[in-house]
A and B are shown apart, each in its own frame.
Chain A
Amino acid sequence: MIRKVLIANRGEIALRIVRACQELGVRAVAVYSDADAQAPHVREADEAVHIGPAPASESYLRGDHLIAVAKQVGADAVHPGYGFLSEREWFARAVRDAGLVWIGPPAEAIAAMGSKTAARTLAISAGTPVVPGTTEPLRDAAEAAATAARFGYPVLLKAAAGGGGKGMRVVREESEIAGALASAQREAKNAFGDDAVYVEKYIEGPRHVEIQVLADAHGNCIALGERECSIQRRHQKMVEEAPSVAVTPELRQRMGDAAVAAAKAAGYVNAGTCEFLLDRHGNFYFLEMNTRIQVEHPVTELVMGIDLVQWQLRIASGERLPFTTSPEPKGWAIECRITSEDPANGFLPSTGRIAHLHLPSGPGVRWDGGIEVGSVVGLSYDPMLAKLIVFAPTREAAIARMERALKELVIDGVETSREFHLRVMADADYRAGRVDIQWLESRLPTLLAQQAPRETRQAAAIAAALLADRDRGSRRTGTPSGGSATVPGHTNGAPAPAGVAGSWAQLARLENLRRG
């Protein structure tokens, strides 16, 4: 077994890996930049090493330095987490060349899945379905029409150098294709200086459904069910769940087989994820493979009853998988990514110091976080603060549990996505599972414009008046004159001592007199 792991990451995933290590009796070594000296992942680890200034390029992305640190502390393995260096082939190779164990897939597998085109070719060779499309630019309208007829309408014309929707056209029937091709080519030429246009089948209203795979070094590779990740904003997942309302046991089996075939073709070992588009008719198409542990891995852990991060360590230590067939998911898990973004203000990143944090708990609630009271949320890293994950017997119960947990959660000091998640949980489409990858973008304005119920608005108005009244000094709290305005269990109803609070109130009254 591996004895000591250097964790080349930060935040919640670093803490997650520390926990897996400690439960397996493996020593965990954290690294940290100037910005993270006080971070929970640093304190909870067995050892911690400072690696540089706040910018990731000078700390968490310095692969050579991280390897030197691993050697220096006597670690025998490196866990990259997600993001940062986790999918860099050269880093996986450098770790191996330094005589350390890489807790992830072999560098060759990362390379094989590294580019979308390479992964697509590999998937085709493994018999895994991909979105039908051409690999050579279209020569003329006749060729476009012939190809489209082969894939079946609708089709998508796509600029080779594309991005941001430029040079893209959805074509629904043959009569439109010549005109659409000409305008896509013109737009591509103007935007990118290159008029090469491809054609592919257009998948209408697809869901993003991904399959978790786990492979050991002895040739065993299994699928661990799907995750539904269609709730996305600007290609960032916001809510994930397992299983998916759109996946039957039969479809799960077929998607699992397709994912395992692609992973095996890449010589895959350790944990990985195949991403698919799933259309309304149950057809699925391979997009790419993520060669790392994913942010949303906990929903799979909960419905499968398996610790994926521990298995990453076990597999890297040479252990065999204990099962040869895929287990069926039990119950329902949902994850909300709690970010320091302000939904009321276009999801602008918010910064500040966490002044107060109250974490939800109770049955079926899991918090994978990297913050605590006093943490400073800056702009150096990703705005994801934590993941709130719930588990319940049914989807309906899981949604109710998530609503309860979100309401319990208090984060004071930065704006967060909490209210946004509450609006999603209450949405009729979401509750019915009627979502696809475009759903959130189109629903967002309605979700965010929602008015609180009348009684909540009235309670807010009264709360604001009470606060203003106290702040101007005409009201004190925690005193007998306030009636039951004491918190049971805190003061036991006893009068508040005329101490600090009293003198502040007096000062406030004086200030007010002066203003008047």
Chain B
Amino acid sequence: MKYLVDLSGERVEVQLDADGATVDGTRTSAHLADVEGTSVRLVTIGGVQHRVVARRGAGKGAYTLWIDGWRFDAEALDERTRAIRELSALAAGPVGPAPVIAPMPGLIVRVHVAAGDTVQAGQGVVVMEAMKMENELRAPASGVVKAIHATPGVAVEKGSVLVEFEPQAGA
């Protein structure tokens, strides 16, 4: 089975067979085993052991992985699922940039933008207070502010949508 793995922005093709994996034309043995009673998986690649902790992400094939002291956001989809995904994404037309979502419960301290403002990726848009610290939430991508659901002084729950965006005209 061939998997297309998106790994923190980079795509890697992994061809799996019964007891191995082929990447970039090189095949190595590859096994996955649980370490009983823990959340640790032992992944053995070409005889080298890696302790892996994986948390399932939002969609199918999405994982956050901790391996050898590094953290990755990975999405592993087989070729067919990946193709269907990309076709249906095309059919659905362009979607707006991802909204800013409260990563934790807390209090809105400031809102730096207003509807109609153009923002750049990484620009601070909302300041939240949690654990007595102010935390700036940044726009995940460039876009135009479509709606704001955050008011200074008002508490929000984890996962609340705070700011919505639409794509920039001509983008």
Contacts and interface: CB of A to CB of B under 8 A. Distances in A.
Contacts of B1: 469, 474
Nearest to A469: B16
A307 to B, nearest CB: 31
A461 B34 contact: no
A461 B7 contact: yes
A72 interface: no
Contacts of A474: 1
Given A346-B136, A356-B53, A482-B19, A463 B31 contact: no
B31 A483 contact: yes
A331 interface: no
A349 B158 CA distance: 12
Nearest to A413: B39
Interface in A322-378: 342, 344-351, 355-356, 358
A484 B31 contact: yes
Nearest to B23: A458
A470 interface: yes
A484 B44 contact: yes
Given A345-B103, A349-B135, A356-B39, A452 B3 contact: no
A142 interface: no
A193 to B, nearest CB: 20
Contacts, number: 179
Interface string B28-71: 01111111101111111100101111111000010101111111
B50 A487 contact: no
B42 A468 contact: no
B63 A467 contact: yes
Contacts of B76: 461, 464-465, 467-469
A475 B12 CA distance: 20
Interface string A261-276: 0000000000000000
B167 to A, nearest CB: 24
A412 B135 contact: no
Given A349-B131, A356-B40, A463 B65 contact: yes
Interface string A249-290: 000000000000000000000000000000000000000000
B14 A461 contact: yes
Given A457-B10, A470-B32, A349 B133 contact: yes
A465 B3 contact: yes
A140 to B, nearest CB: 37
B16 A465 contact: yes
Contacts of B5: 461, 464-465
Nearest to B29: A483
B156 to A, nearest CB: 12
B68 A349 contact: no
Contacts of B16: 465-466, 469, 475
B169 to A, nearest CB: 29
A396 to B, nearest CB: 19
A503 interface: no
A68 interface: no
Given A348-B103, A379-B105, A481-B18, A463 B54 contact: yes
Q: What 10 A-B pairs are tightest by C-beta distance, nearest first?
A: A468-B76, A461-B12, A464-B74, A485-B31, A465-B3, A465-B14, A356-B39, A466-B32, A464-B76, A452-B70
26 contacts: A234-B133, A348-B130, A349-B104, A351-B158, A406-B69, A407-B68, A407-B69, A410-B38, A410-B53, A412-B39, A419-B66, A456-B70, A457-B12, A457-B72, A459-B68, A462-B45, A463-B52, A464-B14, A464-B65, A465-B21, A468-B3, A478-B33, A485-B31, A485-B33, A490-B35, A490-B36
Interface of B: 1, 3, 5, 7, 10, 12, 14, 16, 18-19, 21, 23, 29-36, 38-45, 48, 50-56, 61, 63, 65-72, 74-78, 103-106, 130-131, 133, 135-136, 138, 158
